[in-house]
Chains A and B, each alone.
Chain A
Amino acid sequence: MIQAPTKTTDLLAVTGLGVAYGDPAAPVRAVVDVDLTVGRGESVGIVGESGSGKSTLLRALLGLHGSGAAVSGGIAVDGVQLAHDPAAMRRVRGGTVSMVFQDPVNAFNPAYTLGSQLGRLVALHRPELGREQRRAHVAAMLDRVGIPAHRTRSHPFEFSQGQLQRCMIAAAFLAGRPALVLADEPTTSLDVTVEAQIVELIRDLRAELGMSMVLVTHNLGLVADLCDRVHVMYAGRFVEHTTIRGLFDSPAHPYTRALLKSAPDLDRVRESRGSRLPTMRGGVPDLAAPPPGCPFAPRCDEHLGEVCDRDLPELLPVPLMPAARTAHGTAPAGQASDTLPRPGDVRARCHRHAASALSGGTAVEGVKA
Chain B
Amino acid sequence: MIRMTLLRLAQAVPVLFAVSLIAFALLRTAPGDPAITLAGVGASQEQVDAIRHELHLDRSLPEQYVLWLQEALSGDLGDSYTTRQPVTELLADRFPATVQLALTALVLVIVIAVPLGVLAALRRGGAADHLVRILSLGGLAVPSFVLGMGFVLLFGWYVTGVWPYQGFVAYGTDPVEAFRHLLLPALALAFPQIGVVARTTRSGMLDVLSQEYITAARAFGVPERRVVAADALRNALLPVVTQLGVVTGLLLGGSVIVENVFGINGMGSLLVASFGERNYSVTVGVMLVIALVFVLVNLAVDLLYGAIDPRIRAGYRKGEA
Contacts and interface: CB of A to CB of B under 8 A. Distances in A.
Nearest to A157: B311
B231 A109 contact: yes
B210 to A, nearest CB: 9
B309 interface: yes
**Residue of B211, B212, B234, B314 ringed by the most chain A CB atoms within 10 A:** B212
A157 B310 contact: yes
Given A103-B212, A106-B213, A111 B310 contact: yes
B221 A64 contact: no
Contacts of A106: 211-213
Contacts of A108: 213, 216
Contacts of A113: 310
A98 B213 CA distance: 14
Contact of B219 (A94, A124, A157): A94
Overall SS of chain B's interface: helix
Contact of B218 (A64, A157, A158): A64
B216 A99 contact: yes
Contacts of A20: none
B308 A59 contact: no
B82 interface: no
A120 B231 CA distance: 12
Nearest to A176: B221
Contacts of B308: 111
Main secondary structure of the interface of A (DSSP, over half): mixed
B220 A171 contact: yes
Contacts of B310: 110-111, 113, 155, 157
Interface in B229-243: 231, 234-235
Contacts of A90: 221, 223-224
Interface in A186-204: none
A93 interface: yes
Interface string A165-192: 0000001100110000000000000000
Given A101-B212, A103-B212, A157-B314, A110 B309 contact: yes
B219 A93 contact: yes
A59 B216 CA distance: 10
B222 interface: yes
Nearest to B210: A66
Contact of B235 (A59, A107, A110, A176): A110
Interface string B195-236: 000000000000000011101111111111010000100110
Given A110-B235, A110-B309, A124 B222 contact: yes
A19 interface: no
B168 to A, nearest CB: 40
A127 to B, nearest CB: 12
Nearest to A121: B220
Contacts of A107: 212-213, 215-216
Interface of B: 211-213, 215-224, 226, 231, 234-235, 308-311, 314
13 contacts: A90-B221, A90-B223, A94-B220, A99-B219, A103-B212, A107-B213, A110-B213, A111-B234, A111-B310, A113-B310, A124-B220, A155-B314, A158-B314
Interface of A: 59, 62, 64, 90, 93-95, 98-99, 101, 103, 106-111, 113, 120-121, 124-125, 155, 157-158, 171-172, 175-176
Given A98-B220, A111-B234, A176-B221, 20 more contacts: A64-B215, A64-B218, A90-B221, A90-B224, A93-B219, A94-B219, A94-B221, A99-B219, A101-B212, A103-B212, A106-B213, A107-B216, A110-B235, A110-B310, A111-B308, A113-B310, A121-B220, A124-B220, A124-B221, A155-B314
